[in-house]
Amino acid sequence: MAEEKEVILTKEGLQKLEAELEHLKSVRREEVAERIKQAIAFGDISENSEYEDAKNEQAFIEGRIMVLEKTLKKARLMEDDDIRTDVVSLGSRVTLKEMKSGREVTLLLVSSAESKLKDGKISDESPVGRAILGKKVKSTVEVEAPVGKIKYKILKVEK
């Protein structure tokens, strides 16, 4: 069996995952258990959509709890010293320039467990993340996207 990969998290990312796990265990489990209890009280569960919905939600919550527990078990907190500024590394804040449009974007490179594009956090396993990882300022990278190849120039690498 392959050894499981360590998950490196920022302090904020670790706290968010721990809070989500705690919320699912202490609040959401109780809410769904109550919904199931109420649905059973309505009688015949074979044709009870409320019961089915609650059971599906329960399965989703339990699955998410398992994923979070597994992730946290493999987690290692990213130290400030781990973040490099000479090359793009996990934890780097990177400013990229899209070569065709000239548009600039600043992203934080994180593990897939805490990536969230709308918050400007991209995974090191994403196409852009893989392309920029280990590269220096002024490097140009090419990323394969559904719309074709996109070229970026790395303008800044910061902590």
> Would you mind telling me the total number of residues written for the chain in this entry?
159
Question: Residue 81 has what pLDDT?
Answer: 78
Asked if residue 1 is part of any domain, the answer here is no
CB count within 10 Å of CB 15 equals: 11
Strands 93-98 and 104-110: antiparallel
Q: The domain spanning residue 126 has which CATH number?
A: 3.10.50.30
Q: What is the pLDDT averaged over residues 42-65?
A: 89
Residue range 13-32, pLDDT digits in tens: 899 999 999 999 999 999 99
Give the 3-state secondary structure of residue 114: helix
What is the sign, positive or negative, of the torsion defined by CA atoms of 76, 79, 85, 91?
positive
**CA 19 to CA 143: how far, in whole Å?**
34
Domain limit, last residue, from 77, 96, 130: 77
Domain limit, last residue, from 77, 107, 125: 77
List phi, psi (to 5°) of 3: -70, 140
**CA 20 to CA 118: how far, in whole Å?**
18
Domain containing 69 equals 7-77
Strands 7-9 and 140-145: unpaired
Q: Is the pLDDT of residue 134 over 90?
A: yes
Same domain, 113 and 73: no
**CA 95 to CA 6: how far, in whole Å?**
26
Q: What is the pLDDT averaged over residues 142-147?
A: 88
Asked if residue 48 is part of any domain, the answer here is yes
Contacts of 152 by beta carbon, 8 Å cutoff, 6+ apart: 96, 97, 98, 99, 128, 131, 132, 140, 141, 142, 143
Same domain, 84 and 151: yes
Residue range 55-94, pLDDT digits in tens: 999 999 999 999 999 999 999 888 887 788 899 999 999 9
